[in-house]
Amino acid sequence: MQVAKIGIVGAGQMGNGIAHVCSLAGYDVVMSDISEDALAKAMSLIDKNMSRQVSRGKISDAEKDGALGRITTTTDLAQVGPSDLIIEAATERETVKQAIFEDLGPHLLPHTILTSNTSSISITRLASRTDRPEKFMGFHFMNPVPVMQLVELIRGIATDEETFRACKEVVDRLGKTSATAEDFPAFIVNRILMPMINEAVYTLYEGVGSVRSIDESMKLGANHPMGPLELADFIGLDTCLAIMNVLHDGLADTKYRPCPLLTKYVEAGWLGRKTQRGFYDYRGDEPVPTR
């Protein structure tokens, strides 16, 4: 099956990045969100990020203009339905994702492939709530989407080979690399990354090191480009906690127990960069550790 039109549900951090790379690859994109304001912000950010690519010689002005012209936005989910491939990129809550797929159902074409950008939720379970579990996959981009090269492709138990091949061809056309993951909690990247972040929070919680010393140690001692607590703030502490809960619940192993300090930060609404406070306070000129 040839994919020509891609629908994207959600215009947040992940959704606008996916729209960015898909439109640059020549796909017609329809991006939806419940908020007109969110859509306007997403288009402004895509324009800004593409302009940065132009200034660095990555793309031409003509390529930028062509890509922006291929993106349409809507608050009407029904307009996303008649796409060849739909990528759901809403918040990491299973009930929200299930409701989106249910609302899309009556508007889909017979051949439409449904995918979710979930970073941890069962693809098999999401697929089972649709009318096409054989045409359903996990399509997990890394953040920030225009920069990161990996896409995890996750088959549910019912996913057929044609669906997998069509999704892999899209990843190839985007100029990215696909990694095939089995449908177990958090797949590959977050199965490894989130326990590391959680352990860094435990290291802070137990007083082994300060925020700054933990991050500096991993940057300089393990050659990580970003410290684990800085990275947690970038991802969103609520997202980190949600994934740790999926791991803990899904694998029933105490090694995945979320650190109480991570839970406390989320309860306080200190979710990282998006709320200006997390393990660092971002309200000044320079980020300052909050512990």
User: Which domains can be identified in the chain, with CATH numbers?
Assistant: 5-182 (3.40.50.720), 190-289 (1.10.1040.10)
For a pLDDT cut of 90, what percent of the chain falls above it? 97
Which contacts of 230-235 are long-range, i.e. CB under 8 A and separated by 24 or more positions? 230/279, 230/280, 230/287, 231/197, 232/197, 232/200, 232/201, 232/262, 232/272, 232/278, 232/279, 233/272, 233/273, 233/278, 233/279, 233/280, 233/282, 234/143, 234/272, 234/273, 235/143, 235/197, 235/272
Kindly indicate the confidence band of residue 91, based on its pLDDT and cuts at 50, 70 and 90.
confident
CA nearest 229: which of 279, 263, 180? 279
Q: For 131-144, how does the pLDDT look when each residue is reduced to its tens digit (9 = 90+)?
A: 999 999 999 999 99
pLDDT at 92: 85
12 known member of a binding site: yes
Which residue out of 32, 152, 178, 198 is catalytically annotated? Answer: 152
**Can 107 be counted among the known catalytic residues?**
no
Residue 255, annotated ligand binder?
Answer: no
Q: Is 140 a catalytic residue?
A: yes
Bridge partners, 116 (sequence order)? 88, 138
On the question of pLDDT at 254 being above 90, the answer is yes
pLDDT band of residue 1 (cuts 50, 70, 90) is: confident
pLDDT for 120: 87
Residue 98 annotated as binding site: no
| 223 assigned binding-site residue | no
Average pLDDT, the chain: 97
Best CA proximity match to 278, nearest among 228, 206, 243, 219: 228
pLDDT confidence of residue 169:
98
Q: Which tens digits make up the pLDDT trace of 213-249?
A: 999 999 999 999 999 999 999 999 999 999 999 999 9
**Block residue for tokens 């959704």:** 15
Residue in 140, 178, 198, 230 annotated catalytic: 140
Alpha helices in the chain (DSSP H): 13-24, 36-55, 61-69, 94-104, 123-128, 161-173, 189-205, 211-221, 228-235, 237-251, 260-268
Look at the pTM and tell me if it is higher than 0.75. Answer: yes
Residue 184 tokens read as: 């177990």
Question: Does residue 119 have a known ligand-binding role?
Answer: yes
The yes-or-no answer on residue 20 being catalytic is no
Q: Is 190 a catalytic residue?
A: yes
Name every residue whose Cβ is closer than 8 Å to that of residue 198 and which is 6 or more positions away in sequence: 240, 244, 256, 258, 259, 262
At 201-210, the pLDDT tens digits run 999 999 999 9
Residue whose token pair is 């989130």:
194
